[in-house]
Amino acid sequence: MQKALAAIVLPKSLRDDIAQRLDPLIRFRKNREPASRKTRDNKWQFYNRMFAELWVLGYKIRNVGNFRPRHVEALMMSWSDKSVSELHTRLSMMNLLLEFLGKGDQVKSVRDYFPERDTTRKLVAQENKSWEARDIDVEALIEKARALDERLGCILALQHHFGLRVKEAIEMRPLRAASDGEGAALLLIEGTKGGRPRIIPIKTTGQRQAIEWACALAKSAKSERMRWPRDTWKQSQAKFYYRCSSWLGISRKELGVTAHGLRHGFAQTAYRRKTGMPTPIEGGALGRIDRTCHAEAARVVAQQLGHGRIYVSGSYYGSYGHQLRGSAGEQNPQIPSSAFPDWQSDCYRYVSVSVGLS
């Protein structure tokens, strides 16, 4: 097994200092709540690798407290070939460390380090990544998966009907998660990001059928999880992605989609169900519903997807003013309201003429 860079270049005294002094930073989030195992591991690996890279660059820091903004600049320059998203993530981790050390007033932005580069982080969808946008018959592909491996098909069905992440669909215990009756809902706990539980209402026939299917399969596993019996989470994850790609062609290269595209499709369906109108990336929102209605739909979608920040939902279906993103003079196709006949409600109003962004 290859040794980590930190184990090779850093003295034991510094590795011990990182482990001891950064323990509170690694174990807890900014809101002081305990971090998930994955978050702790990511932080641990990042900070050890970061100090190791500084040593490689010639900055022989002897203890954590010596970390300075000039070290941030050196690291950012050495990472100039990284993507904008990766640069933002790494800078955020270093800023977190500076704040922890009481040097938060010296924080800069990515733009400060790369003034000649477009460092705008794309927080809204630039393209429609749903399966439907690629003219894929979702139900037919799920049935094909079911014929090859019933558990694989069911996991895809849970993603499609509930917008679950892969880990959530594999790790969930449907027998415990589903509730019946008038307030039927799915209480999601296992596998969620940051360990945050959420409730997804069960309203459609497809959702009910997917849960019934999942419950029937879960009974055959001792753990009552959706993962393959006798497999660990990691083994099930590898099996899922391999079979999706090799058996079904679910990849960017073959079908032009990923399993995560089912989550995009769910978000767009939830938006349309809430507003009765197409999503922004499909040509809706601007000039069709007002901002208040759009914001309410975004809140509902974010809640069902398990995001604490409402604006993140825009990364699944675009922003309110998505139509204005086209080049000058480009006309966006207008989708007739007759295609969405149930859009009227007390809190939503149709705007018959195009409106500008206020």
pLDDT at 206: 96
DSSP string, 263-313: HHHHHHHHHHHHHSS--GGGT-STTTS-HHHHHHHHHHHHHHHT-SSGGGG
C-alpha distance from residue 221 to each of 161, 166, 171, 229 (Å): 22, 18, 12, 5
Instruction: Tell me whether residue 214 is exposed, middle or buried, using C-beta atoms within 10 angstroms of its C-beta: 0 to 12, 13 to 18, 19 or more.
Output: buried
The helix (run of H) or strand (run of E) holding residue 91 is helix 84-100
> Residue 78 corresponds to which amino acid?
S
The stretch 28-38 carries a mean pLDDT of 81
pLDDT at 112: 87
pLDDT tens digits, one per residue of 157-191: 999 999 999 999 999 999 999 887 667 899 999 98
pLDDT at 182: 65
Task: Find the angle CA(194)-CA(138)-CA(344) to the nearest 5 degrees.
Answer: 80
Length of the chain in residues, anyone?
Answer: 358
pLDDT at 120: 66
pLDDT tens digits, one per residue of 85-95: 889 899 999 99
pLDDT at 281: 84
Q: Which residues of 41-58 are buried (b: 16+ CB within 10 A; e: fewer)?
A: eebbebbbebbbbbbeee
pTM higher than 0.85: no
Kindly state the DSSP code that residue 252 receives in the 8-state scheme.
T
Residue 137 pLDDT greater than 90, yes or no: yes
Residue spans of the domains in the chain: they are 5-113, 132-259, 275-339
The residues with which 34 forms a beta bridge, in sequence order, are 28
Residue 352 pLDDT greater than 60, yes or no: no
Mean pLDDT score across all residues of the chain: 83
The helix (run of H) or strand (run of E) holding residue 198 is strand 198-201
Residue 32 pLDDT greater than 90, yes or no: no
Residue 294 binned pLDDT confidence (cut-offs 50, 70, 90): confident
Cβ contact 186:279 at 8 Å: no
Residue 81 binned pLDDT confidence (cut-offs 50, 70, 90): confident
Residue 349 binned pLDDT confidence (cut-offs 50, 70, 90): very low
* Closest C-alpha among 199, 198, 217, 220 to residue 157: 217
Residue 122 binned pLDDT confidence (cut-offs 50, 70, 90): low
